[in-house]
Amino acid sequence: MNAPVPGALTSSLLYLDGVSVSFDGFKAIRGLSLTIAPGEMRAIIGPNGAGKTTMMDIITGKTRPDEGTVMFGGSVDLTRLDEAAIANLGIGRKFQKPTVFDFHTIEDNILLALKSQRTVLKTLFWQTASAQQKRIDDILGIVKLADKRERLAGSLSHGQKQWLEIGMLLAQDPKLLLVDEPAAGMTDGETAQTAVLLKEIARDHSVIVVEHDMGFIRELGVKVTVLHEGSVLAEGPLDQVSANERVVEVYLGR
């Protein structure tokens, strides 16, 4: 079940094979294999300590795997690149705890994320072109923060910060979005709206969503991968996965 199909590498956007990493002897990820197709949206679930966040750290260059292959777009070896290079390749990340720039306005948060050349000189002499300003306005509209654009991001509520961070991801216009627990700490209404937002984004981006909230995953209606102790336990549609005995035992049945 874990072995990727031959030819999966070239047709995939993200390809992980046999990835392992350990911290002080503890194997956080062991032999993890995962393939994400271009345009796919995938939900990843698993109990605490299953290695979900570590997997994201590996993909985004924060953690280097001890062994295994991590390829992006079929040809780029992500284990050789640092965070900034990976971000510029087109992999965006939303953290579990919303991390926005508290002392910048909401609009500036989006501006900083907006896809652009990130060199020192280009940012020093930056002028926002009208097309870019329009893109910022559009994103502020999508995440429903247009009327608060001048406010400092630090003054937003938890749910609004989550949305702002999703807006920043949109501004980056990445090929692949890694979204860690987007519905954490949200009210039911906000959770439903977030699902709608993510589905909209998934129309023209590949998305990996890590989430605990089963209702939220059901609402997304996408293929699910269950992680357990650092490797893939089951993969498939939610109904099929939740019927799997092992999954029920380690995760759902508790």
Task: Pull the structure tokens for residue 45.
Answer: 């679930």
Give the integer Cα–Cα distance in Å for 229 and 175: 28
Among 32, 41, 139, 168, binds another protein (CB under 8 A): 168
Give the integer Cα–Cα distance in Å for 189 and 88: 34
Among 2, 22, 99, 157, binds another protein (CB under 8 A): 99
CB of 174 to another protein, least distance (A): 9
Among 8, 9, 146, 152, binds another protein (CB under 8 A): 146
Among 42, 52, 93, 175, binds another protein (CB under 8 A): 93
Q: In the chain, which residue ranges form alpha helices assigned H by DSSP?
A: 8-11, 52-59, 83-89, 106-113, 120-124, 130-142, 158-172, 188-201, 214-220, 238-243, 245-247
Among 84, 129, 196, 248, binds another protein (CB under 8 A): 84
CB of 132 to another protein, least distance (A): 11
Spatial CA neighbour of 4 closest among 221, 175, 225: 225
Spatial CA neighbour of 16 closest among 78, 62, 104: 78
80 CB neighbour count, 10 Å cutoff = 11
Q: Which residues 102-141 are close enough to bind another protein by CB under 8 A?
A: 102-104, 108, 111-113, 118-120, 123-126, 140-141
Give the integer Cα–Cα distance in Å for 158 and 190: 11
Give whichever of 146 and 252 is closer to another protein, judged by the CB atom.
146
Q: Which residues 38-67 are close enough to bind another protein by CB under 8 A?
A: 60, 62
CB of 92 to another protein, least distance (A): 8
Give whichever of 81 and 238 is closer to another protein, judged by the CB atom.
81
Residues of this chain that interact with another protein (CB under 8 A) are 60, 62, 82-84, 87-88, 92-93, 95, 99-104, 108, 111-113, 118-120, 123-126, 140-141, 146-151, 168, 172
